[in-house]
Every structure is written in structure tokens, then in C-alpha cells.
Amino acid sequence: GSDETRVPEVPSSLHVRPLVTSIVVSWTPPENQNIVVRGYAIGYGIGSPHAQTIKVDYKQRYYTIENLDPSSHYVITLKAFNNVGEGIPLYESAVTRPHTVPDPTPMMPPVGVQASILSHDTIRITWADNSLPKHQKITDSRYYTVRWKTNIPANTKYKNAQATTLSYLVTGLKPNTLYEFSVMVTKGRRSSTWSMTAHGATASG
């Protein structure tokens, strides 16, 4: 790029990604690489792009416009500039997202959690899901999280695993040890609370 006798051409693309109080702007440089680009000018405002202007370095390919209002319609322009002046703008508009998405109602937690001892290191956990039809067939993308821990020592952390059926085989347990188990269901962005706790002790080794 050596020609600086004229302004840069229009940037070759402009993308905007609206969030709640910000918009991520990304772009690609003008296709004609011979004309010098010193930087980019980003204009933005509600309904009109002339409220604010930000200038960034010629190396930059994205910028996050911050401190915007939620649920508002912004117009954004992007121009390349050099010492001669500013090139033709590209326009894009974006609507910022609503401030809060109300939390969906939680799922019902699984019920009837039972622990069946199979060996010194394996316990099968089974449960029912009252939000499934009577035949308890899972036809959607819900999944279950099973968690378990011993109380010795007292501060032991939970381990957990995911299941897509109404049972889970917990393996690798310590022999002759009492464990507690609970289950939660997740579907999309909705999760239940943890179920009531079931207890089971592994057989001695």
C-alpha cells in the first residue's frame, strides 16, 4: 500500500453482533490494497450513525461498542481513512438485546431416586421423572445429571455424570462406603433443583 493521493475505498465487509449493552463490530479491509489505509472510523447512534465516532488503528479488524441501551435500534457506519480523508461508509444496523430474559419456570426434580448395590465399587441409580408422560419414554433432548459423594471426609466434593436415560451406573466407588446420590433434569435452558437424596453403601471388597 503506497498510494495516498486519494481516499481509501469502501471496506469489503462489515458485520455486527448485538448483545444487551454492546455491539461487536467486525470488518475486512478495502479490496484495493494499493491505497494507504491509516485507520477506520466507526460511527454509531440510535437511529443515526452520527452521534458518536471512534477511530481505530489500520490493523484492527473488530471493535466492541460499549455502554449502549438495551432493546435499541443502532445504526453503525464504517469508513477507512488516510491523510487525504475518509472513504465511502458501509452502513449496518443492529437492535441490542432486551435487558433481561425472564427465567423460564424450572423443571420438576426427578423423584423416587433409588440406589441398588451391585458390587463393592458399583451402584445403580434409578429415578422417575414426573414431567415425562406416563410411559416414561424420553422423546426430547432432556438429560439428567447424577451427583454422588461420601461423607468421609466431611468436605468431600461431589462427582457428577450425565445420563440420557432414567438410570445410571456409578462405578469406581470405594468398597464398604456409604454414598449419597441426587439427580437433576435439564432441558434446554431449564433445570430442576436436585432431587431428594438417596443413600447406598457399597459391598465390602
pLDDT in tens, 126-155: 999 998 887 788 888 899 999 999 987 778
In the chain, the largest separation of any two C-alpha atoms, in whole Å, equals 86
Which residues have CB under 8 Å from 103's CB, separation 6+? none
Let me know whether 138 and 182 are in one domain.
yes
CATH number at residue 121: 2.60.40.10
User: pTM for the complete prediction?
Assistant: 0.50
Please tell me whether residues 82 and 143 are part of one structural domain.
no
State the residue range of the domain holding 74: 13-95
Q: Quick check: helix, strand or coil at residue 197?
A: coil
Quick one: pLDDT at residue 68? 94
When pLDDT is cut at 50, 70 and 90, the band that residue 2 belongs to is confident
Sign of CA pseudo-dihedral 63, 65, 70, 76:
negative
For residue 7, tell me if it sits in a domain.
no
**pLDDT bucket at 171, cuts 50 / 70 / 90:** very high
Q: Cell 414431567 maps to which residue?
A: 131
On whether both 70 and 117 belong to a single domain, the answer is no
Angstrom distance (rounded) from CA 199 to CA 166: 17
Which amino acid belongs to residue 3?
A: D
Segment 21-47 mean pLDDT? 95
